[in-house]
């Protein structure tokens, strides 16, 4: 079987997680690396024993020269759309780290490039692949929750600002703070579990109260990104909001890099007419329902807590390419996601609900 030639753009942080997955799959060959910081490529070459692999500091040069089948993108958010569009226009499939883009125009450009080129575009949605997510999706699809009409989700940290002063906290490069960084994860998981209803309106608030906090981080997840003393911090550190969907359902959201809470946690809670579900940060699920005779019941099913969501998402991407599987992710979902995020930022500025 011909191996897919993969060129990886962005080789630090999440780039190493992507490389780890690719190097364990016999369907692909890491053909080239690209990063504006050569030291990151050298570190990746050594870590994954890639030998004398071609290295580039310009993604366009890599794509033009290497005859790639796939371009993998793990760069600051502002580069996701330009790289993805260029790659697809030059005959490459694309797997991109979240968020899809910084703005709706960028997400639409990616969708249109995929449709025009016929190339597969998939953006990281790793939370869909964990054991508790898979269990909840099956439970809902079997009709055991009834109509899912409401929910709440979030990812909140006590202290966990990533790369303070670097690209994460620079709006021009990131597009925003925890809403665009963490919000993609749990909003997507919630909407996916709810059956992908279309968002029609949002409202929200954002805050920035801890840019100058001297407290040490207590979040293992905040280690992505590189801090820069005296750097820029012009994004929120806390966001809350509300999403309404075309089927009448709603979703309450909260995301923070820093807030005075007990501890960091991620959560999804969904309310259905037959049962409710809680997706928990420890990989478990709790289900609360009612029997036909009116008695209440609780379920605490055992789920697989060993699954690597990032690797599983990449392997699904490869399954679509090699086995013709139906992709779990469609580019329109990415467009709707960015519409939600940008509209929440707009609502926070105007103090009004935004119709989508």
Q: What is the pLDDT of residues 256-274, one digit of tens each?
A: 999 999 999 999 999 999 9
Query: What CATH number does the domain containing 20 carry?
Result: 3.40.50.720
Q: What is the pLDDT of residues 68-115, one digit of tens each?
A: 999 999 999 999 999 999 999 999 999 999 999 999 999 999 999 999
Contact 281, 266 (CB under 8 A): yes
Q: Is the dihedral of CA 105, 177, 268, 126 positive or negative?
A: positive
Rounded to whole angstroms, the Cα distance separating 32 from 54 reads 5
- Please tell me the predicted confidence (pLDDT) of residue 226: 86
pTM listed for this prediction: 0.96
Q: pLDDT category, 223, cuts 50, 70, 90?
A: confident
- Please tell me the predicted confidence (pLDDT) of residue 1: 74
> Based on the structure, what is the number of domains in the chain?
2
- Please tell me the predicted confidence (pLDDT) of residue 224: 82
Residue 95 lies in a domain: yes
Pairing of strands 265-272, 275-280: antiparallel
158 and 294 share a domain?
yes
Residue 280 lies in a domain: yes
Residue 63 lies in a domain: yes
Query: What CATH number does the domain containing 254 carry?
Result: 3.30.360.10
Tokens 């960091």 correspond to 264
- Please tell me the predicted confidence (pLDDT) of residue 2: 86
139 and 280 share a domain?
yes
182 and 274 share a domain?
yes
Q: Count CB atoms within 10 A of the CB of residue 147.
A: 15
> Is the pLDDT at 26 greater than 90, yes or no?
yes
Beta carbons within 8 Å of 292's beta carbon, 6+ residues apart: none
Residue 297 lies in a domain: yes
133 and 117 share a domain?
no
Rounded to whole angstroms, the Cα distance separating 129 from 138 reads 12
Q: At 311, phi and psi to the nearest 5?
A: -65, -40
Contact 168, 107 (CB under 8 A): no
Q: Residue 322: is it exposed, middle or buried by C-beta count within 10 angstroms (0-12/13-18/19+)?
A: middle
> Is the pLDDT at 148 greater than 80, yes or no?
yes
Which residue range forms the structural domain that includes residue 259? 128-307
DSSP letter string, 280-332: ETTS-EEEEEE-TTS-EEEE---------HHHHHHHHHHHHHHH-PPPS--HH
- Please tell me the predicted confidence (pLDDT) of residue 145: 97
Q: What is the pLDDT of residues 160-203, one digit of tens each?
A: 999 999 999 999 999 999 999 999 999 999 999 999 999 999 99
Residue 64 lies in a domain: yes
Q: pLDDT category, 132, cuts 50, 70, 90?
A: very high
Cα 70 to Cα 28, 146, 149: the distances in Å are 9, 40, 39
């Amino acid at each position: 079987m011909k191996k897919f030639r993969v060129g990886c753009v962005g080789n630090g942080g999440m780039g190493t997680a992507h490389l780890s997955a690719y190097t364990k799959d016999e369907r692909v060959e890491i053909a080239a690396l690209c990063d504006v910081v050569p030291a990151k490529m050298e570190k990746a070459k050594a870590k994954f024993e890639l030998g004398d692999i071609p290295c580039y500091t310009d993604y366009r040069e890599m794509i033009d020269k290497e005859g790639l089948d796939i371009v993998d993108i793990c760069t600051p958010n502002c580069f996701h759309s330009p790289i993805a569009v260029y790659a697809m226009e030059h005959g490459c499939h694309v797997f991109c780290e979240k968020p899809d883009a910084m703005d709706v125009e960028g997400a639409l450009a990616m969708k249109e490039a995929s449709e025009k080129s016929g190339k597969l575009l998939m953006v990281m949605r790793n939370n869909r692949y964990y054991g508790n997510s898979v269990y909840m999706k099956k439970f809902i699809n079997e009709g055991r929750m009834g109509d899912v009409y409401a929910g709440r989700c979030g990812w909140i940290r006590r202290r966990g600002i990533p790369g303070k002063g670097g690209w994460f906290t620079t709006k021009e490069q990131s597009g925003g703070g925890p809403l665009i960084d963490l919000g993609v994860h749990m909003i997507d998981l919630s909407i996916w579990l709810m059956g992908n209803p279309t968002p029609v309106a949002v409202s929200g608030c954002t805050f920035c109260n801890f840019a100058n906090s001297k407290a040490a981080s207590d979040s293992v997840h905040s280690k992505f990104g590189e801090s820069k003393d005296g750097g820029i911090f012009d994004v929120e550190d806390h966001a809350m909001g509300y999403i309404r969907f075309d089927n009448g359902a709603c979703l309450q959201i909260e995301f923070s890099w820093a807030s005075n809470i007990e501890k960091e946690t991620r959560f999804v809670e969904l309310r259905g007419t037959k049962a409710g579900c809680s997706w928990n940060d420890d990989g478990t699920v709790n289900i609360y329902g009612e029997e036909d005779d009116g008695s209440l019941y609780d379920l605490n099913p055992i789920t697989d807590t060993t699954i690597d969501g990032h690797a599983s998402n990449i392997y699904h991407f490869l399954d679509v390419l090699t086995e013709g599987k139906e992709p779990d992710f469609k580019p329109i979902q990415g467009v709707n996601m960015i519409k939600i995020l940008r509209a929440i930022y707009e609502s926070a500025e105007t103090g009004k609900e935004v119709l989508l």
